[in-house]
Amino acid sequence: MELLFQYIVAGVTYGTIYAIVAIGFNIIYNTTGIINFAQGEFVMLGGMTAFTLKEYMPLPLAIVSAVIITMIIGALIEMLFIRWLHKPSVLRMIIITIGLSILIRETALHIWGEGVTALPYFTGTSLSSVNLGGVFVSPQVFWAVGISSVVVVLLGVFFNFTLLGKQMRACSANREAARLCGISTQNMVTLSFMLSAAIGALGGCIVSPITYIQYDSGSQLAIKGFTVAILGGLGNSTAAVAAAMILGILESFSIWALPAAYKDVVSIAIMLIILFLKPSGLFGNAASARLKEY
């Protein structure tokens, strides 16, 4: 029984980071219709930058700075590579974002080398744990789940209760009509890149002590995050959180049943099955899909 909980805890931990990557995908997808395959790189950049910065400043400050730096990189990427494209085709966008992810990854290789980095645990060490009725849980798991939940709640508040958030939703619902309301859709797109870069970077910092980050961690995370985004239904962030938990837990149970090397197979298999059988996602239904105009 304890073992069962142990697997669930591990699953939820991985689920949190998948959820954060998926939310990053969704934010950009909603405002632009683009799937940004460089999303995982934002996570890597956040973790790596924070690792470098923490030599010079206290950890919380290093994390905040890393998030801000990644956010600026996100804005620059949008302004340099996306903004001036006039009605680009989907295929072109896919190739551009994949190209960007390679560019960022190789730059990271030059800056940080091949080494694996990890931020220190936010509280305690890698050995400390909290006993929850016989199950030992690392305190970092609480940080990961806690911070991610706060991010999800704050995003909900942002999109539903602030004028800026409403503008972004308007831009995603109907771009032309948004422009006719005087909303600068171009700025909304830049903002969506900044927002998802920041969220990705924060995710990278949270998860770094548990999973370690190196220059090429981004692409793996992007695949997982993309699977989760599809599983929940593209564009739907609440569903993405649920889907992320499902995937995380399935993965962690797969170690129990299959050799550990097959862990990634689970998520890719799920992605393929969903794409074949229900491309609108587990929680997407025809009625709500019709309400959205992407």
Partner 1 sequence: MLRIDNLVSGYDTLKVIQNVSIQVNPGEIVSIIGANGAGKTTLLKTITGLLRPLSGQIQFDGQDITRTNTEKIVLLGCSLVPEGRQVFAPMTVRENLILGGYVQYKRNQGSVVLKDLARIYKLFPRLMERETQFAGSLSGGEQQMLAIGRAMMARPKLVMMDEPSMGLAPLVIKEIFSIIRMLRDEGATILLVEQNAKAALRLADRGYVLETGKVILEGSADELLENDDVKCAYLGKVKKEM
Q: Does 238 bind partner 1 (CB under 8 A)?
A: no
d(CA 246, CA 81): 35
Any bridge partners for residue 117, and if so which?
213
Minimum distance of partner 1 from residue 31's CB (angstroms)? 13
Q: Return the amino acid letter for 114.
A: E
Name which of 150 and 177 has its Cβ closer to partner 1.
177
Query: What's the min distance (Å) between Cβ of 68 and partner 1?
Result: 26
DSSP string, 111-179: HH-S--B-PPPSSS-TT--EEETTEEE-HHHHHHHHHHHHHHHHHHHHHHHSHHHHHHHHHHH-HHHHH
From 53, 108, 183, 189, residue interacting with partner 1 (rule: CB under 8 A) = 183
Q: Does 174 bind partner 1 (CB under 8 A)?
A: yes
Closest to partner 1 by CB, 173 vs 242, is 173
C-alpha–C-alpha distance, residues 234 and 226, integer Å: 9
Stretch of 60-68, 164-172, 209-217, 239-247 contacting partner 1, by CB under 8 A: 164-172
Q: Does 180 bind partner 1 (CB under 8 A)?
A: yes
Does 259 interact with partner 1 (rule: CB under 8 A)? no
Tell which one of 35, 170, 199, 239 touches partner 1 (CB under 8 A): 170
Q: Which of positions 144-163 make contact with partner 1 (CB under 8 A)?
A: 163
| 184 is a contact residue toward partner 1 (CB under 8 A) | yes
Q: How many CB atoms lie within 10 A of CB 157?
A: 11
Binding of residue 176 to partner 1 (CB under 8 A)? yes
Amino acid code (one letter) for 264: D
Q: CB count, 10 Å around CB of 49? A: 25
Out of 182, 260, 261, 286, name the contact with partner 1 by CB under 8 A.
182
- Name the E strands within 33-93: none
- The answer to the question of residue 237 lying near partner 1 (CB under 8 A) is no
Asked if 263 interacts with partner 1 (CB under 8 A), we say: no
Q: List the structure tokens of 38.
A: 């460089």
Euclidean distance between CA atoms 94 and 6, whole angstroms:
38
Name the DSSP letter for residue 78: I
Rounded Cα–Cα distance for residues 202 and 217 (Å): 15
Tell me if 167 contacts partner 1 by CB under 8 A. Answer: yes
- Structural contact between residues 231 and 271, judged by C-beta atoms closer than 8 angstroms: yes
Strand partners, 137: 130
State the burial class of residue 134 (Cβ atoms within 10 Å of its Cβ: 0-12, 13-18, 19+).
exposed
Please state the closest distance from residue 175 (CB atom) to partner 1, in A.
10
Comparison of 87 and 110: residue with beta carbon closer to partner 1 = 87
Residue 278 engages partner 1 in binding (rule: CB under 8 A) = no
Measured from the CB atom, is 147 or 168 closer to partner 1? 168
Residue 107 or 174: which CB sits closer to partner 1? 174
Q: Is 178 in the site for partner 1 (CB under 8 A)?
A: yes
Which residue's CB is nearer to partner 1, number 110 or number 290? 290
Instruction: State the residues that interact with partner 1 by CB under 8 A.
Output: 163, 166-167, 169-170, 173-174, 176-184, 288, 290-293
